[in-house]
Amino acid sequence: MKKAGNLFLAIAAALILALGGSGCTDDSDAAPPAEDAPKYVILMVPDGMGLSNVTAARIFKNGPNGDPLDFEELPYIGYQRTHSRNSTVTDSAAAASAWASGEKFNNGEISCLDDNGDGVCDGTRINTMTVLEIAEQKGLSTGLVATSDITHATPAVFGAHVHNRKCESEVFEQFLANNIEVLLGGGIATNRSSCLLTATDAAYNANLITDAQNNHGYTYVTTETELAAVPANTGKLLGLFKDGGLTPIYQRGAANDEPTLAEMTEAALKVLGQNEDGFFLMVEGSQIDWANHARDLKYQIGETLDFNDAFKVVKNWAAQDKDRYNNTLVVVVADHETGGFIIEGPYGTLSNAGDTATQATDMAGNLLTDDDANPIYEADLEGFFGSNAANYTTQSANHTAVDTIIWSNNWVCGQAMDNTDLYNIMVNWMN
pLDDT at 246: 98
For 417, residues 6+ apart whose C-beta sits below 8 A from its C-beta are 24, 25, 78, 79, 80, 81, 406
Convert the pLDDT of each residue in 62-96 to its tens digit. Answer: 999 999 999 999 999 999 999 999 999 999 999 99
11: pLDDT confidence band, cut at 50, 70 and 90? very low
pLDDT at 14: 39
- 91 near 107, Cβ under 8 Å? yes
For residue 48, is pLDDT > 90?
yes
What are the percentages of helix, strand and coil residues in the chain, rounded to 5?
Answer: 35, 20, 45
For residue 26, is pLDDT > 80?
no
Q: What percent of the chain has pLDDT over 90?
A: 87
| Mean pLDDT, rounded, of the chain | 92
Convert the pLDDT of each residue in 281-296 to its tens digit. Answer: 999 999 999 999 999 9
Convert the pLDDT of each residue in 302-344 to its tens digit. Answer: 999 999 999 999 999 999 988 898 999 999 999 999 999 999 9
pLDDT at 362: 87
Strand partners, 80: 404, 417
pLDDT at 30: 54
pLDDT at 27: 41
pLDDT at 405: 98
431: pLDDT confidence band, cut at 50, 70 and 90? confident
pLDDT at 278: 96
The catalytic residues are 92
Strand partners, 377: 359
pLDDT average, residue stretch 18-44: 63
For residue 22, is pLDDT > 70?
no
- 322 near 186, Cβ under 8 Å? no
Convert the pLDDT of each residue in 160-189 to its tens digit. Answer: 999 999 999 999 999 999 999 999 999 999
21: pLDDT confidence band, cut at 50, 70 and 90? very low
Convert the pLDDT of each residue in 333-383 to its tens digit. Answer: 999 999 999 999 999 999 999 999 999 998 888 999 999 999 999 999 999
User: Where does 227-287 show beta strands of DSSP type E?
Assistant: 237-240, 278-284
pLDDT at 5: 40
For residue 261, is pLDDT > 90?
yes
> 203: how many CB neighbours lie within 10 A of its CB?
8
For residue 18, is pLDDT > 90?
no
Convert the pLDDT of each residue in 211-260 to its tens digit. Answer: 999 999 999 999 999 999 999 999 999 999 999 999 999 999 999 999 99
Strand partners, 279: 40, 141
- 82 near 95, Cβ under 8 Å? yes
Name the 3-class secondary structure at 45. Answer: strand
